[in-house]
Amino acid sequence: MKWVAGLALLAGLAAGGYFYTTRTDTQPSTAVIDRQVDRQDGRDPGGFPPRREEADPKQLSADAERARRAGIDHYRSGRYDQAIKEFTLALRLDPKNDRAFGNRGLAYATKGDDERALKDFNRALAINPKNVATLDNRAALYIKQGKLKEAIGDYSDALLYRPGDAQLLNNRGYAFLLNYDYERALRDFDRAISANPRLHTAYANRAIIHERQSHIDKAIADHRKALEISPGYDPSVKALARLKPQSQPPSDRISDADKERARKFYNEANDIRDKGDLKAALRSFSRALEYNPRYVEAYNNRGNVYTRLRQYDKAIADFDKALSIDANYYRAYYNRANAYKRKGNRQQAIKDYSRAIELKKDYTIAYNNRGNTYNDLGQVDRAIRDFNDALRYDPKYYRAYYNRAIAFKKKGNLDRALKDYTEALRINPKYTLAYNNRGNIYKDRGDLNRAIADYTKALKYNPRYTLAYSNRGSAYEDRGDHKRAIADYRAALRYNPDYQRAKDGLKRLGARP
């Protein structure tokens, strides 16, 4: 990925991969900045009406506007450091000039200074949340950083102010595509093409979905349309060169009717799985694959069912098959990692979690599970770094706080562990595991009243929680309340008759099970 023409993010993976262009693709290379300048006198090169909050030149001092325009000139000429100086001068003269913040953010982004770029985009939008150009550019930066959820949010906000904007629809569709949300991506590309039938990138992006869904003829047709509009468009040239030799002979092609049958069995399998009948779900996933042997999502979901049934080799085989069809399907890497981890192959699990994270940088659950795997291997510092990354992308991911607390406790940092357990419980007040583990720390410190209160909370939300009964019984025993201790040990054995710690507790107290 790189910043192209100083204006926008272009994501181009290997031939046949994704290709993305911002809203500047069908406009002059300075359109994002020019659009803001031209609105001053009511002109808009993209054909949109002037926005009143930007059309009144009285809002800007003349000196600030001159500095900003000088910055634009430097920017157009590739003199980004000089442009930044001029935009900074404009902001000294007019600290609430959202366009100057947006322009400077774009210059920083072009130089690769993502941190300063994001800070300026945020400042611009704090002043003017309706600044479509800045929303568009911040979304492009988020895509570069792998923050797909945030990118989609920015494009959606921009579309509130510019409904039907073809390039915004194309860009949001691309973010959905990266997130493997093909249904929403396809809908956005269709709308983009309807709004602007000459937007070649929307055809090319839509072709990717058609290819992934095994609609090869449709993919070829869309790439040809892209080339008709923009002759020599490199991604479509490469895609057609790749697709034509791989076009299946008529006898081997999957018909649309078979794809539809496969889709029905796939949906049926998901419903059956959600109801708990895993073996019946396997049968329906297998029927879906009989009709469409290239159905990536069906291999992935059948693999997950095999994992739940502890048939790990079969699960891994399904994930392998999914990845042989789509080598960038990050969910299959993540799920295969889970299967390897459960099978005991933690090193291979780490490799697959890492690959999933490479493909989806904000994949919080992959960071979390890789962190757990590092923790299992005794690599506690690496585990903590992964939990930190998970929380950077999702500060409300309570499981990452819980798991980081376990890692801190392993390092002997009980204060940090307590803090993380408490934060997990603030986010999810019914998190029984966190109550139990925080209770253990209180118990180890001799704070028996707090420990008992936490175990009691855990049992409130899970009355069959054997470990919490046993731990509370031990806390009562330490406090000298043998009657309650015996009752708790017996309760633990009621739900798990083989639980040795509860048996040992009753033996110490001279009580029968």
- The dihedral region occupied by 480, where left means phi > 0, alpha psi between -120 and 50, and beta the remainder, is left
Q: Which is more confidently placed, 350 or 52?
A: 350
Q: Classify 429-513 by CATH class.
A: mainly alpha
Q: Count the neighbouring beta carbons within 10 Å of the beta carbon of residue 68.
A: 26
- Tell whether the model's pLDDT for residue 252 goes beyond 70: no
What sign for the dihedral angle of Cα 327, 330, 335, 336?
Answer: positive
**How would you label 31-50 residue by residue, b for 16+ Cβ within 10 Å and e otherwise?**
bbbbbbbbbbeeeeebeeee
Do 254-360 and 429-513 show the same overall fold?
A: yes
CATH superfamily of 254-360: Tetratricopeptide repeat domain (1.25.40.10)
User: Taking all residues of the chain, what is their mean pLDDT, rounded to a whole number?
Assistant: 85
- Tell whether the model's pLDDT for residue 188 goes beyond 80: yes
At residue 245 the predicted structure's pLDDT band, cuts being 50, 70 and 90, is: low
- Tell whether the model's pLDDT for residue 32 goes beyond 90: no
CA angle 45, 50, 54 (to 5 degrees): 110
Q: Tokens in use for 253?
A: 């092609």
- Tell whether the model's pLDDT for residue 199 goes beyond 70: yes
- The dihedral region occupied by 4, where left means phi > 0, alpha psi between -120 and 50, and beta the remainder, is beta
Q: Tokens in use for 93?
A: 């003269």
CA distance 123 to 101: 7
* pLDDT tens digits, 65-78: 889 999 999 998 88
Are β-strands 2-4 and 8-10 bridged in parallel, bridged antiparallel, or unpaired? antiparallel
Lowest mean pLDDT among 6-15, 287-296, 373-382: 6-15
pLDDT of res. 215:
85
pLDDT of res. 293:
92
What would the 3-class secondary structure string for 238-290 be? Answer: HHHHHHHHHCCCHHHCCCHHHHHHHHHHHHHHHHHHHCCCHHHHHHHHHHHHH
Helical (H) or strand (E) element with 423: helix 414-427
At residue 342 the predicted structure's pLDDT band, cuts being 50, 70 and 90, is: very high
pTM of the model: 0.60
| Domain-wise residue ranges, the chain | 254-360, 429-513
* pLDDT tens digits, 268-303: 999 999 999 999 999 999 999 999 999 999 999 999
Contact assessment for residue 9 and residue 140, using Cβ atoms and an 8 Å cutoff: yes
